[in-house]
Amino acid sequence: MNTFKITTSLHDQAASLALKGDWKAAIAVNEQILALNNKSTESLLRLGFAYLQLNQIIKSKKAYLKALKIQPANQIAKNNLQKIAILEKKKIDFSPVNKMSNQLNPNLFLHVAGKTRVVPLINIGQADILAKLKIGQKVTFKIKKRRVEVRTDENEYVGALPDDISKRLAYFLEAGSQYSTFIKEASKNTVDVFVREEKKGRSVAKYLSFPKNIQDSLKNMIDDEDKTDDESEAVDEDVLEETESPVDLEELAEAIEDTDTYAEGHNEDDDEEQE
């Protein structure tokens, strides 16, 4: 087997092991690739990431610096070196809480039209909090003043959803909808989250969580709701008119007279029959 085929096979193995979260095995495979080609930026980036997941900061830093030396403009290397600098400065432990936390489900970021979306956060949080974020880490939503914030399980602020998506998801969340949210990308200056719809509230069941045009769809949804409210009010008014229509006193008096006449006539006939 030639070197190209061997390297391609090793690259596939390295990617597969990373998806499984088997970082030690992934490191070994990437080292094999670098032994065959020490200028493989892709392998150096994977190696740096794998070491970072195991909290081996110095080795991770070396791998990223080598990658940056080969490709000075490589943004992935730059972003991770910034993260490492914050971890070192703040003396933050980047090791996983448990072994399972580093196992990344390969289907985690599977796109489903209308039900999932990758969302870049705005007004992102403090650098030391962002530096601790891991790809695939689960985060939660918190509605605050019509804006949907993203927070860690420890209630640390990560960022907020953009206004248009915030308005829509706040509406859906208040209607009883449920979502799972995971860190997709994180650096010193940017955070992307992957949002997946898990359950839709009854009142929004006919609407998509993530239509192609968020603004137009939200407007249409609100218009539909207003229309339904107007129709409901119209029905109530009709019922009110029927139940509270003014009484015609003259007609009521005539009806009473007719009833009395009929009653009197009926009594006379009864008397004649009795005689």
The alpha carbon of 127 is separated from its chain's Cα centroid by a whole number of angstroms, namely 22
Give how far Cα 102 sits from Cα of 20, 60, 84, 107, 255, Å.
8, 16, 18, 15, 86
Q: Closest Cα partner for 80 from 55, 48, 122? A: 48
Fold classified for 107-244: Alpha-Beta Plaits (3.30.70)
Report the run of H or E that residue 109 belongs to, with start and end: none
* Domain edges within the chain: 3-92, 107-244, 247-275
Q: In b/e form, how buried is each residue of 212-231, taking b as 16+ CB within 10 angstroms?
A: eebeebbeebeeeeeeeeee
Q: What's the CA gap between 44 and 31, in Å, rounded? A: 9
Instruction: Give the pLDDT of residue 134.
Output: 87
Question: Which tokens in the block code for residue 259?
Answer: 């009833």
- Beta carbons within 8 Å of 12's beta carbon, 6+ residues apart: none
| Angstrom distance (rounded) from CA 140 to CA 137 | 10
Residues 6+ apart with CB under 8 A from 70: 39, 41, 44
Residue 96: burial class (beta carbons within 10 Å; 0-12, 13-18, 19+): middle
- Look at residue 90 in the predicted model and tell me its pLDDT: 75
Domain 3-92 belongs to what topology? 1.25.40
**pLDDT, position 177:** 95
Look at the pTM and tell me if it is higher than 0.85.
no
Quick one: pLDDT at residue 251? 60
- Round to the nearest angstrom and report the end-to-end CA distance of the chain: 129
Chain-centroid distance, C-alpha 82: 27
* Each residue's pLDDT expressed in tens, for the chain with a length of 275 residues: 567 777 888 889 998 888 788 899 999 999 999 999 999 999 999 999 999 888 899 999 999 999 999 999 999 999 999 989 988 887 777 665 444 445 566 678 889 999 999 999 999 999 889 988 888 899 999 998 879 999 999 999 999 999 999 999 999 999 999 999 999 988 888 999 999 999 999 999 999 999 988 776 666 666 666 555 554 454 455 544 444 445 455 565 555 555 544 444 444 444 444 44
SS3 of 224-271? HHHHHHHHHHHHHHHHHHHHCCCCCHHHHHHHHHHHHHHHHHHHHHHH
